Amino acid sequence: MLKALGRLTALHPFRFIVVWVVVVLTSFAVALGAFGEGLFDRLQSESPSVPTSESGQAEDYLSEADDTPYTVNLIVWGLDLADQAQLAEVATAMADVREDLTAIDGVAAVLDPFAFPAGPADPQAAALLSSEADGFIVRVELEDDLSEEAEDAARVAVEERLDAVVDDLGVDGTRGIVSNVDLITASVIDQTVEDLARGESITLPLSLIVLVLVFGGFLVAGMPLIGAIAAIGLGMAAMWVAAQYLSVDSYVVNILSIMGLALSIDYGLLVVSRFREELKGAAARHRERPGKRRRDPAVVEALERTLDTAGRTVLYSAFIIAISISGLLLMEAPLLRTVGIAGVAVVLVAVASAVSLVPAHLALFGRSLLRPSVLAKLPVVGSHVHALGDVAPDDGLFSKLARFVHRHPWLVLVPTLGLLVAMAWPLAGVNLRADALEYVPRDSTQGEYLDVVEERFPALQFPEAYILADASVDEAEAWAEELRDVAIVDRVNPVAEVGDRQLISLKLGVDGASAEALDLVRDLRAEDRGFEFWVGGAAATTIDFGASLLDRLPYALALVVLAVFVLLFLMTGSLVVPLKALIVNLLSLAASMGLTVLVFQEGYLSGLLDFEPLGGIELVILALAVSFGFGLAMDYEVFLLARIKEYWDLTGDNDVAVERGLQKSGRIITSAALVMMLVFAGLIVGKLVVVKEAGFALLMVVAVDASLVRMLLVPSSMTVLGKWNWWAPGPLRRLHDRYGITHD
pLDDT of residue 177: 92
Question: Residue 71, SS3?
Answer: strand
C-alpha to C-alpha distance for 28 and 344, rounded to whole angstroms? 19
Residue 127 DSSP class: G
Residue 75's H or E segment, with its range, is strand 71-77
What DSSP string runs through 602-671? Answer: T-TTHHHHT----SSEEHHHHHHHHHHHHHHHHHHHHHHHHHHHHHHHHH--HHHHHHHHHHHHHHHHHH
β pairing state of 489-492 and 533-536: unpaired
Mean pLDDT of 506-528: 86
Q: Tell whether the torsion through CA atoms of 196, 200, 201 and 206 is positive or negative.
A: positive
Contact (Cβ atoms closer than 8 angstroms) between residue 224 and residue 269: yes
Please give the C-alpha separations between residue 695 and each of 258, 564, 676, in angstroms, as whole numbers. 9, 24, 11
Residue 47: which pLDDT band, with cuts at 50, 70 and 90?
Answer: low
Q: What is residue 398's predicted lDDT score, i.e. its pLDDT?
A: 77
Q: What are phi and psi of 137, to 5 degrees?
A: -115, 140
Distances in Å between the Cα of 499 and the Cα atoms of 64, 264, 493 are 9, 52, 18
Q: Is the pLDDT of residue 420 over 90?
A: yes
Which alpha helices (DSSP H) does 327-442 contain, by range?
Answer: 334-352, 358-365, 374-377, 379-388, 397-407, 409-424
Is-contact 603 707, C-beta < 8 A?
no
Q: Model pTM? A: 0.80
Mean pLDDT of 584-589: 87
Please tell me what DSSP assigns to residue 179.
Answer: E
Whole-number Å distance between alpha carbons of 581 and 633: 9
- Is the predicted pLDDT of residue 457 greater than 70, yes or no? yes
Do 281 and 399 form a contact (C-beta atoms < 8 A)?
Answer: no
Give the end-to-end CA distance of the chain in Å, rounded to a whole number. Answer: 12
- pLDDT at residue number 372: 59
Q: Which domains does the chain have, with CATH numbers?
A: 2-40+185-432+544-739 (1.20.1640.10), 71-179 (3.30.70.1320), 440-543 (3.30.70)
Average predicted confidence (pLDDT) for the chain: 82
* pLDDT at residue 160, rounded to an integer: 92
Instruction: Give the SS3 label for residue 338.
Output: helix
* 511/538 Cα distance (integer angstroms): 10
If one compares 138 and 634, the residue with the highest pLDDT of the two is 138
Torsion region of 341: left, alpha or beta (phi above 0 gives left; psi -120 to 50 gives alpha): alpha
CA 680 to chain centre: 10
CA separation for the pair 207, 14 (Å, rounded) = 26
Once rounded to an integer, what is the mean pLDDT over residues 515-539? 88
Q: Which of 389-398, 557-566, 706-715 has the lowest mean pLDDT?
A: 389-398
The pLDDT-based confidence of 392 (bands split at 50, 70, 90) is low
Query: Under 8 Å CB-to-CB from 437, ≥6 apart: which residues?
Result: 47, 450, 462, 538
DSSP 712-736: IIHHHHHHHHGGGGG---HHHHHHH
Q: What is the mean pLDDT of residues 391-398?
A: 64
The burial class, CB within 10 Å (0-12 / 13-18 / 19+), for 182 is middle
Percent of the chain with pLDDT over 90: 11
Average pLDDT over residues 651-666: 82
pLDDT at 390 over 60: no
Cα–Cα distance, 116 to 121 (Å, whole number): 9
Spell out the residues 6+ positions from residue 563 whose beta carbon is closer than 8 angstroms to its own.
320, 323
Distances, alpha carbon 303 to alpha carbons 107, 137, 270, 362, in Å? 67, 68, 13, 8
| DSSP letter string, 484-543 | TTSTTEEEEPPPEEETTEEEEEEEESS-TTSHHHHHHHHHHHH---SS-EEEESHHHHHH
Q: What confidence score (pLDDT) does residue 744 get?
A: 45
pLDDT recorded at residue 509: 83
Give which of 639, 640, 624, 644 is closest to 701, Cα–Cα: 624
Contact 144, 67 (CB under 8 A): yes
Is the pLDDT reported for residue 210 higher than 90? no
Q: Is the pLDDT of residue 648 over 70?
A: yes
Q: What single string gives the DSSP state of each residue in 423-455?
A: HHGGGGG--EE--GGGGS-TTSHHHHHHHHHHH
For the residues 80-86, what does the mean pLDDT come to?
A: 83
What b/e string do you get for 510-549 counting C-beta neighbours within 10 Å, with b at 16 or more? bbbbbeebbebbeebeeeeeeeebbbbbbbbbbbbbbebb
674, 680 Cβ separation under 8 angstroms: no
395: pLDDT strictly greater than 70:
no
Task: Spell out the alpha helix ranges (H) of 216-294.
Answer: 218-245, 250-285
Least confident stretch, 346-350, 391-395, 734-738: 391-395
Sign of CA dihedral 653, 656, 662, 665: negative
Residue 201 identity: S
